[in-house]
Amino acid sequence: MKKLSILITASLMLLGQSYGQTLLTQNQKEMEDQEHYTFQLNDKVNRKEITFKNRYGIMVSGDLYTPKNKGTEKLPALVLSGPFGAVKEQSSGLYASELASRGFVTLAFDPSFTGESGGEVRGVASPDIFTEDFSAAVDYIGLLPTVDRNRIGLMAICGLSGMALTAATSDSRIKAVATASMYDMSRSISRSYQDSYTQEQRQQVVDYLSQQRWKDAENGNYAVGLHEVPFDENGNMIKGIRILPETLPANPDPVLASFFDYYRTARGFHSRSINSTTAWTATTPMSFFSFPMHANIEMIGARAVMLVAGENAHSRYYSEDVYKMISGPKELVIIPGADHVDLYDKKDKIPFDRLETFFKDNLK
C-alpha cells in the first residue's frame, strides 16, 4: 500500500524557504487579520485569557473556561490541546467550552513556540516540551481555588494526544486521559504513514535533516518544510514546504480535502494556526526520531484512558494500536461514519456525553 503522504504531497508542495512565508489565498486575505475563535462560546460558560510558565521558563498562553453556575464546591478540571499545528481558538477551545458547560473547569492552551505562547524559534515542535506544557498547565489549574487538584484529567486532539498520554506516564497528578483522532507524532514523523518508511528511507530523511542544519546555520534563519518527509512512487525524497493549496485539485485525495475544509476555510481558519498559514521548521522531525512517544506507557497503570476515533479516519490505527498497549482501564470509541477531521469540530460526531461520563467516573 502506498503511503498516504505520497497521495497528499502533490497538492501540498509550493516553493519557499523562510519561516512565515505563506500562501495568501483570497479566502485568507479576507480573514488574515481576524483574531477570532472558530466556534461559538457555550452560553453556560465564562472564558478568560491566562498565561503560565513551563519548567523551561517558556510562557504558555491559554484560555480558561469555567461554568457560570459553578456553585461553591471545588470542581474537576481538564487540560486540553491539539491538533498538531492548531491553536486554542480552534478545536481544543471548542472541546474546552463544551466540557466546561458540563461542570468542569477547563484550560485550552497553545503549545510552546506556537500561537500566542512564547518560545523562540517560532514554529518548532518538540515532543519533550509539548509534553511538559501539559504538566505545566496542571501546575496552573491545580492551584486555582475553584479546582479540586486531585481530580485533573487531560483531553487532547490529533497530534497532541500522544503528548498527553506521554505526560501521564511521568505525572501521576493526571488521573485520566481522553484523546480524539489520535496521532502518534513520533511514529508518524519517524516511520511515516502506517510505518511505510524502509530503513534506507529513514536514513535518507536523517541525512536530509542533518544537512538542512548546515543550511540553516549558514543562512542565519530556519527554513520550513514537511514534518513528515515523503517519497514519490519512484522512491525519491520530496522536499519543500507543506502548505495547503489555494484551491483543491480535481478529484483530491479525501484526506487532503478534509484538512483543507477545516484549516483553509472559514470553518476552521485561524491566522496563528501553522496548519492554516505556513509550516513547521524543516528540522522539526529530528527530535521526533530521537524521542518516541509511549515508550513508558505502562506507567499510566490503573488510570483510565479513552481513545476516540472516526470509523473512516486514516489515523484510526494509532488509537487501536495504543489501546492494545494499555493494560489498565481503557475504552476505544469508534464513531460511525466519521473521518479524522470530523472530530475536530462536528458536535454531532464528537461524543461529548461519553466524554463527560468518562471524566466524571474517573475523576473522583
Q: Which residue has the cell 536514513?
A: 203
Provide CB contacts within 8 A for 234, sequence distance 6+: none
Distance, CA of 161 to CA of 266 (rounded, Å): 25
The three cell numbers locating residue 113: 513556540
For the chain, give the longest Cα–Cα distance: 64
Task: State the pLDDT at residue 243.
Answer: 65
CATH 1.10.10.800 holds for 4-32+196-286: yes
pLDDT reported for residue 253: 87
CA–CA separation, 6 vs 113, rounded Å?
A: 28
- What residue ranges do the domains of the chain occupy? 4-32+196-286, 45-184+293-362
pTM score, whole prediction: 0.91
Residue 198 to residue 181: CA distance in whole angstroms:
26
May I ask the CATH architecture of the domain 45-184+293-362? 3-Layer(aba) Sandwich (3.40)
In order along the chain (364 residues), what is the average pLDDT of each group of 10 residues?
Answer: 44 37 43 72 97 98 95 95 98 98 98 98 97 98 98 98 98 98 97 95 96 96 92 84 75 90 95 93 96 95 98 98 97 98 98 98 96
Would you call 66 helix, strand, or coil by DSSP? strand
Cβ neighbours of residue 37 closer than 8 Å, sequence gap 6 or more: 89, 93
